[in-house]
Amino acid sequence: MGLNLVNLEMEDVRKLMLEELELDVAEKCIYKGKSLKESHEEAYINLFRDSIMNGTSDSFSSSIEINNCLMSHVPDPKTKSGLRKVSKIAHITLGEGEFNRFYIRALCRIASDQSLELEIYRAKNVRKPRPESEAKIGELVDPESLLINLRTNPIVNEALGIPDPNSGLSIKIIE
């Protein structure tokens, strides 16, 4: 089960997500993770566009896997072979992380334009939530600074000030 992004179907969210993606495409700063095949970059971007317009974090993650966008191994000088096997859930980590990041970027723009507040919430249940993540739930965030941070930092958790990866946290608009 992917992310429960409570404001995804709100007016203009998907349109703004797409605008944010196109901004990154134009600036050639698409985050591809460590395991995206170079030969699949264009396909990855098109799959992302399709998911933004008609899908979810789940559909994006699935399309990354189905279209064989990720390498099976990545360079790792720490190993004897110089390679490390890519995680079985790398497509989920990449798909959810990026879909969430662009969703949050869209909400930041809406909140900023309409003087709305944004709050951190749990968008995905995790087996063992870390105390650092739990402490963030309910916190209000500044849309302008978060948007700037997410445009330059591809890791949502870091932008939200959460040290652990895959926290399952996102933001929502408080109305």
DSSP lists the bridge partners of residue 120 as: 171
Domain that holds residue 26: 13-174
Q: Is 7 domain-assigned?
A: no
Single-letter code of the amino acid located at 31: Y
Q: Is 132 domain-assigned?
A: yes
pLDDT of residue 162: 67
Q: Is 48 domain-assigned?
A: yes
pLDDT of residue 78: 86
Our CA dihedral for 122, 123, 125, 130, rounded to 10 degrees, sits at: -40
Q: Is 3 domain-assigned?
A: no
* pTM to 2 decimal places: 0.93
Q: Is 129 domain-assigned?
A: yes
Q: Is 1 domain-assigned?
A: no
User: Rounded to an integer, what distance in angstroms lies between the CA atom of residue 146 and that of residue 79?
Assistant: 37
pLDDT averaged over consecutive 10-residue blocks of the chain (175 residues)? Answer: 93 98 95 92 97 97 96 88 92 93 96 96 89 91 93 79 75 92
Q: Is 109 domain-assigned?
A: yes
Contact 167, 130 (CB under 8 A): yes
Q: Is 4 domain-assigned?
A: no
Q: Where are the beta strands (DSSP E) in the chain?
A: 73-75, 83-85, 117-122, 140-141, 169-174
pLDDT of residue 28: 93
Total number of domains in the chain: 1
